[in-house]
Structure 1
């Protein structure tokens, strides 16, 4: 299922690859009490060194360099994103 979802997200975001991260338990970086999979569309050079993507997911829950520039999305932006994603899977 994750692969099928990933393929659609990869196409939608015009990415060339995907990173899958499974979190199960607090020592995996899990912040919600259920197993879940992060599916992250990736592009060439989205990190200076694409093998160094620790800034994306960090099991220590530290403040990450990527968090400094991150801006929380509004409820309206998240609703629009959910609407677009729903259309991918209907």
Structure 2
């Protein structure tokens, strides 16, 4: 597991963004969206709440927020709420039920095999 974006080698950076491009295109279609927000928070001061490199791929639709950039406030508010709960996301993350995860996995498996 790599904690920071700068710790990735060039090949890993390319793989990360090519994967985000592939998955983003499929998620946009799956969620009937018209755009994507791709977000990489690199380090705790940047809002990284889980200590490994990852990209948030957020399907977007027209008028999903009153002001387009309000999505960033919403993401920050979500992080603030998590921090108020004093949850160690690496150790205390609550799992969803098996059936819910199974259904989601089946939907995304079909999506990624298209």
Structure index of larger Rg: 2
TM more than 0.5? yes
Distance 1:60 1:6 in 2: 22
Measured at CA, do residues 54 and 9 of structure 1 come closer, stay the same or move farther in structure 2, by a change above 3 Å? same
- 1:39-84: CA deviation from partner (whole Å, max 9, x where unpaired): 00000111112222123321893129xxxxxxx9942223311221
* 3-state DSSP of counterpart to 1:6: helix
2:42 corresponds in structure 1 to 24
1:12 aligns with 2:12: no
- Per residue, is there more helix in 1 or in 2? 2
- 2:108 pairs, out of 75, 85, 88, with 85
Counting matched residue pairs gives 83
CA RMSD in angstroms, aligned pairs only: 2.5
* 3-state DSSP of counterpart to 1:19: strand
- Per residue, is there more strand in 1 or in 2? 1
Moved over 4 A (4+): none
Measured at CA, do residues 18 and 73 of structure 1 come closer, stay the same or move farther in structure 2, by a change above 3 Å? farther
